[in-house]
Amino acid sequence: MTAKIFITGGSGLLALNWALAIRESHAVTLGLHERIVSLAGIQTRIVDLESVEDLVQTFDEARISIVVHAAGFTSVEQCEAKPGLARHINVNLAGNVAKACAKLGLPLIHISTDHLFSGEMPLLAETSHIAPVNVYGRTKAEAELRVLGVHPEALVLRTNFYGWRTSYRHSFSDMIVDKLRDGQKISLFQDVFYTPILVEVVARAAHELLDLKATGIVNIVGDERTSKCGFGIRVAEKFGLDASLIKPVLLADQVALVQRPRDMSLSNKKACKLLGRQLGNISEHLTRLYQQEQRGLAREIQSL
Ligand SMILES: NC(=O)c1ccc[n+]([C@@H]2O[C@H](COP(=O)([O-])OP(=O)(O)OC[C@H]3O[C@@H](n4cnc5c(N)ncnc54)[C@H](OP(=O)(O)O)[C@@H]3O)[C@@H](O)[C@H]2O)c1
């Protein structure tokens, strides 16, 4: 029987790219909040994450077999400005989804972040000491504890991804593609490091991990650590664009921005060991991103 996947935060960057990556093999329902979207071959349903009862009823009626919790308050600047709302959305609503899944015995994939550390060390493992430097990071760290507290079998994925954008939500990669295609100059940080991964790769790895009955915290990131500026140059090269338009700048000089970790890179050794394979390097993922555009997938998401 085809697995029925329910993804909260259905209008978001991760959910849309995830849904398109698996719609051939799974029956996908996007759980919506305020923004209404529609994509061919994908169901949608408005769901109230404030209500555990509504969640239980929704999952039960739709005979859902796997839940991915991707809803969140994701702007670092907005989280800092509205810490109460950030905590409510990122922690309490995640807890509600986890409670509903635990009640029904449903597998849950909770989406966490690489934004949980002080940012002084590269390639941190799942066991590394958590030390978030801002409200977004603190709420995401608390969410992991809340989710695993109520649903100990949940799979918690720490990640930092890119995919194709909608009209209302841009991804780092397509911001670079759009601006360079337009001949615009862009400034990218050369002192911020991470291990980026394509959403399609996150989705496939997550479903494989569930099949392997993996639980707890797993880093799902690419095999390669790079700076934001280094990533931009790789995007330019892959898409045949002018990398000389990219100006390297320093996060250290941006005093007006909310404090961010300088090094967010994570180790994917645990995931690779569980999966028995690598997750792929930047070049491999960018090739797939490029192919997605050739296949018309980018246009499909951009029409939203
Ligand atoms: N983007 C990244 O690079 C990144 C990196 C690491 C981790 N993450 C994590 O990955 C997950 C998905 O991120 P994303 O970038 O795809 O998010 P996004 O594009 O910002 O979308 C957020 C989604 O959450 C929904 N949402 C917000 N408030 C809600 C509420 N009160 N009730 C129900 N739904 C609500 C939004 O729906 P409405 O617009 O209808 O309110 C939207 O669908 C998040 O948990 C984020 O922390 C993201």
| Confidence (pLDDT) at 252 | 83
Beta-strand runs (E) in 3-97: 4-8, 27-32, 43-46, 66-69
Q: Which residues contact 202 (CB under 8 A, 6 or more apart)?
A: 14, 18, 157, 159, 161, 220
Ligand 1 proximity of 206 Cβ (cutoff 6 Å): no
Q: Is 113 in the pocket of ligand 1 (CB under 6 A)?
A: yes
Atom of ligand 1 nearest to the CA of 114: 6
**What CATH homologous superfamily does 4-302 map to?**
NAD(P)-binding Rossmann-like Domain (3.40.50.720)
232 Cα–ligand 1 center, Å: 23
- pLDDT tops 90 at residue 255: no
Nearest CA to ligand 1 atom 35: 71
C-alpha closest to that of 195 among 145, 112, 116, 268: 268
pLDDT at 1: 63
Instruction: Verify whether ligand 1 is closer than 6 Å to residue 171 (CB atom).
Output: no
Instruction: Give yes or no for residue 95 CB within 6 A of ligand 1.
Output: no
**pLDDT of 165-186, one tens digit each?**
999 999 999 999 999 999 999 9
The 3-state DSSP class for residue 226 equals strand
Report the chain's mean pLDDT, rounded to a whole number. Answer: 96
Nearest residue (by CA) to ligand 1, atom 33, is 33
- d(Cα 190, Cα 98) in Å, to the nearest integer? 38
Compute the distance from residue 183 Cα to the ligand 1 centre, in Å. Answer: 30
Distance of CA 146 to the CA centre of its chain: 19
Residue recorded with tokens 């939500």: 169
Domain ranges of the chain: 4-302
Residue bearing the CA closest to ligand 1, atom 19:
12
CA distance 20 to 301: 9
Whether 159 lines ligand 1, by a CB cut-off of 6 Å, is yes
Would you state the structure tokens that stand for residue 51, as one six-digit string? 């209500």
Question: Best mutation site among 50, 74, 90, 202 for ligand 1, i.e. most ligand atoms within 8 A of its Cβ?
Answer: 74
Instruction: Report CA(284)–ligand 1 centroid distance (Å).
Output: 26
Alpha-carbon dihedral sign for residues 50, 106, 110, 297 = negative
The pLDDT of residue 257: 87
Hey, whose CA ends up nearest to atom 4 of ligand 1? 160
Report how far residue 234's alpha carbon sits from residue 216's, in angstroms, rounded to the nearest whole number.
33
β strands within the chain, DSSP E: 4-8, 27-32, 43-46, 66-69, 108-113, 155-159, 161-162, 186-189, 193-194, 197-198, 216-219, 226-227, 246-249
Q: How many CA atoms lie within 13 A of 13 on its CB side?
A: 23
pTM of the predicted structure, to 2 decimals: 0.97
Does the beta carbon of 49 sit less than 6 angstroms from any atom of ligand 1? yes
Please give the distance, rounded to the nearest whole angstrom, from the Cα atom of residue 138 to the centre of ligand 1.
16
Closest by alpha carbon to 221, among 180, 190, 263, 169? Answer: 263
Residue 114 pLDDT class (50, 70, 90 cuts): very high
Ligand 1 centroid to residue 56 C-alpha, Å: 21
- pLDDT tens by residue, 261-276: 999 999 999 999 999 9
The mean pLDDT of 251-262, rounded to a whole number, is 87
Q: Is 35 in the pocket of ligand 1 (CB under 6 A)?
A: yes
pLDDT band at 253 (very low <50, low <70, confident <90, very high): confident
* CA 79/CA 268 separation, integer angstroms: 27
pLDDT in tens, 120-158: 999 999 999 999 999 999 999 999 999 999 999 999 999
What percent of the chain is predicted at pLDDT more than 90?
95
The answer to whether residues 271 and 279 touch, using CB atoms and an 8 Å cutoff, is yes
